[in-house]
Structure 1
Amino acid sequence: MATTSLDTVSGSTDIRTFRIDVPQTQLDDLHRRLDAVRWPDHAPGVGWTQGIPLSYIQELTRYWRETYDWRAQEARLNAFPQFRTEIDGHDLHFIHVRSRVPDAMPLVLTHGWPGSIVEFLGMIGPLIDPAAHGGDARDAFHVVVPTLPGFGFSGPAVGWTAERVARALAVLMARLGYDRYGAHGGDLGSQVTRHLARVDAEHVTGIHVTSILSALIDPATADPDDPADQRALAAGRRWNTEIGAYWMLQATRPQTLAYGFTDSPVGQMAWIAERFKDWTDSANAPEDAVDREAMLTNIMIYWLNATAGSAARYYFEDGLTWARPGPRIEVPVAVAQFPHDISVSVRRIAEPTHNIVRWTEFDHGGHFPGLEQPALLIEDLRHFYRHLRH
């Protein structure tokens, strides 16, 4: 079994089973807060141009209070084997599902902000048992889905960066007995995955990401005749003029935001649901692209664990460095780009610092492909790792 130096300082190396069992008092408190919400005024007829429309958030709040069933979603989550283990002074939560195919490839799937393990739940079955889902058994994976420290069931945390998470995940995969493994990530998970390729290159067979922030276009160097450059340029303009303000707030004042996130479930829901609208392949509401139950379960994981503030803190800790190139990644890299994501990477900019062997641009989907277009993401993962298994 592979080991890393973090094992010598992390305390217990035990892996403990974990089951979600939210006290009813927490759900009662949530319902009380939803019943007592105080609504702001609004400008009529402006749609989403000033943020989430009051009519939409009120309807979503009613659904959350009256229809959404946390216990049903809790049971769905508990259907997957879950564990916790201490690494680098923090209790890390993760899902671990082994395939019945004996030579399946280990694969770690890493979420970002404002995502969670919910992004990957629908992918686990097809990944561990492709033959049962119309695929080839030779494409089977053992699947590990960690919750980043500071998120969800890993609990609040301070001082964590993408690189620190990567080092912790290298320990986790070694602790699980995986000497060679693949890694996929989106959003912050893309940054973690890229760091993992650097800090554990001996054991990482290749990485699959949905974005490379250091490969964003510079308007001064954009080719007016290159469609890829022009798509990237349009995404950059939208970021600068419409949707990028959340990043600067979380990178400079995460503590101030945390009070509203932690005290007001509707405030937290609005902050996250707006990201699901802005960053997905949706026309009128987030549900055009993402199942409502999944979105609310994702939000609930933040709310129940009071981690919306600490999750946002990653942007303060090292978010302003994510667009820096860093040392070249030598392990094979695959990039899967979905057209309605918030950023568009450019291959020619990424290639000097990444060993890119696969670059796929899809016609549908956005920032949360595991929820929006899981079949496309699964097939891209299968294709990429098919050539890296031995």
Structure 2
Amino acid sequence: MSFDTVPSKALLKPTPFRAHVSDEELESFKQCLKYSRIGRKTYENQNTDVKDFTSWGVDRQWLENAKQSWETKYDWRKTEDRINSFSNYTVTIQDSGFDFEVHFVALFSKKADAVPLALLHGWPGSFLEFLGSLDVMREKFTPDTLPFHVIVPSLPGYGYSNGPPLDRDFDVQGMARVIDKLMVGLGFRDGYIAQGGDIGSFISRVLGVTADACKAVHLHLCIGVSPEGKDIDALSQSEKQALQRYSNFNQMGNAYAREHGTRPSTIGLVLSSSPIALLAWVGEKFLQWSDVSPPLDEILDSVTLYWFTESFSRSIYPYRQFFGAKPTFFHPDPQYNVKKPLGYSWHPKELAPVPKDWVAETGNLVWHRNHEEGGHFAAMEKPALFVKDMEDFVKEVWPQASKARM
């Protein structure tokens, strides 16, 4: 079944796109991987539990096994085939005099009342995070019954999208402008919903405040909310355990983010030089931030995409806003309180699984759901739950939200 009918109201003319690297690029990668060296055994890299934020990082034996599998078993061509089983597009979006070539995957519906959804990833994620959820949708619905138009962009600087500009600073607000222009240009000027985790949660929040066409926001991350002045004793046991995870992340788990924010040039150049270095840095996050560790091939998919698209060094610029010289967190800032309908899905192994009442202080929380499982990569880890949340949230806020003028 084909989900490739672009809405008739679209002003943009997306160009079909296919993922493909040349045989020469693939062979070069294999040679680079083959000669990438893994550091010697140390006390630290043999005594680590990557699921624990107080650990010392990625396990050397895991990295050695992953390298062997990457070299001898992994097949990037299969991943390209999976990517290309969906409708992929690129389109030019101009912002502040710069032409962004934005890649996105789409499931377009033929239903007249289909609700547009922008699903926004973060770091170290990509559009690949959402493919499992898109599988659920296209198995459950036909183009005539799909209740959504689903747009999954590669954020500026990530994957098959270009950017950010080389001659100026760029930030989360700029990312939000590009996404809004994409959604409006695809014909959704009358309204869409933004959904995000990780950096996508910040973009979604900015869209909910600044973009007229964004009528509602759904998040599964609300990092930055402080427990200061709140009654911890009133929380459930699971909420208390989750807050301990948040505390451990703040104390021992965010060194990577401080490096991204304070030395982006250095870490960008280092991790662009070796596939094994990139795998160690990124693989640790997928293992540590997930409830149940993803299959190795899924981790390798993400890292290989970053390698072939040279994404790492050009994707970490938002961290300067969060951990740079003058850090800015949007969530406690009243100007980024979302007055439009806000939804929140709570997963116990998120980085910052804060209680719903705390999230309600940052916006007009009209829908929430607490899950007993799941971590930071909600759509990737629990695609069926993610799709159900989207269905139920949309039923709760639409069409009332779409008619509101804010």
When normalised by structure 2's length, the TM-score is: 0.85
Partner in structure 2 of residue 197 of structure 1: 208
User: What is the 5 A alignment of 1:1-390?
Assistant: 14-43=13-42, 45-48=46-49, 49-87=55-93, 88=95, 89=98, 90-127=100-137, 130-131=140-141, 140-158=147-165, 159-178=169-188, 179-200=190-211, 202-218=212-228, 221-227=230-236, 230-282=240-292, 286=293, 290-318=294-322, 320-322=327-329, 323-327=331-335, 328-390=337-399
Q: Distance in 2 between matches of 1:72 and 1:233?
A: 39
Is there any run of 5+ residues in structure 2 with no aligned partner, and where?
Answer: 1-6, 50-54, 400-406
Alpha-carbon contact 1:139-1:382 (below 8 Å) kept: no
Could you report, residue by residue, the CA deviation over 1:57-91 in whole angstroms, capped at 9, with x for unpaired residues?
01101111111111111011011111112222221
Q: CA deviation at 1:340?
A: 0.6
Cα root mean square deviation, aligned: 2.3
Secondary structure of 1:152 counterpart: coil
Q: Match of 2:31, as an amino acid?
A: R
Q: Match of 1:351, as an amino acid?
A: A
Partner in structure 2 of residue 10 of structure 1: none
Alpha-carbon contact 1:338-1:362 (below 8 Å) kept: yes
Q: Distance in 2 between matches of 1:103 and 1:234?
A: 43
Q: Distance in 2 between matches of 1:230 and 1:280?
A: 19
Q: Distance in 2 between matches of 1:214 and 1:318?
A: 10
Q: CA deviation at 1:139?
A: 6.6
* Higher share of residues assigned helix: 1
Q: Distance in 2 between matches of 1:97 and 1:139?
A: 9
Q: Match of 2:27, as an amino acid?
A: D
Q: CA deviation at 1:129?
A: 6.1
When normalised by structure 1's length, the TM-score is: 0.88
Residues 254 and 206 of structure 1, relative CA distance in 2, 3 Å threshold: same
Secondary structure of 2:39 counterpart: coil
Secondary structure of 2:232 counterpart: coil
Could you report, residue by residue, the CA deviation over 1:97-128 in whole angstroms, capped at 9, with x for unpaired residues?
21243422111100000000111011114335
Alpha-carbon contact 2:208-2:217 (below 8 Å) kept: yes
Q: Distance in 2 between matches of 1:354 and 1:346?
A: 14
Deviates further, 319-328 or 202-211: 319-328
Is there any run of 5+ residues in structure 1 with no aligned partner, and where?
Answer: 8-12
Q: Distance in 2 between matches of 1:353 and 1:343?
A: 15
Q: CA deviation at 1:262?
A: 0.7
Q: Distance in 1 between matches of 2:175 and 2:138?
A: 24
Q: Distance in 2 between matches of 1:265 and 1:69?
A: 15
Q: Distance in 1 between matches of 2:91 and 2:145?
A: 30
Q: CA deviation at 1:253?
A: 0.6
Q: CA deviation at 1:182?
A: 1.4
Q: CA deviation at 1:346?
A: 3.1
Secondary structure of 2:160 counterpart: helix
Residues 253 and 120 of structure 1, relative CA distance in 2, 3 Å threshold: same
Alpha-carbon contact 1:20-1:78 (below 8 Å) kept: yes
Q: Distance in 2 between matches of 1:21 and 1:160?
A: 28
Q: Match of 2:200, as an amino acid?
A: G
Q: Distance in 1 between matches of 2:347 and 2:355?
A: 13
Q: Distance in 1 between matches of 2:155 and 2:334?
A: 22
* Percent identity over paired residues: 27
Q: CA deviation at 1:146?
A: 0.4
Q: Distance in 2 between matches of 1:210 and 1:14?
A: 32
Q: CA deviation at 1:18?
A: 1.7
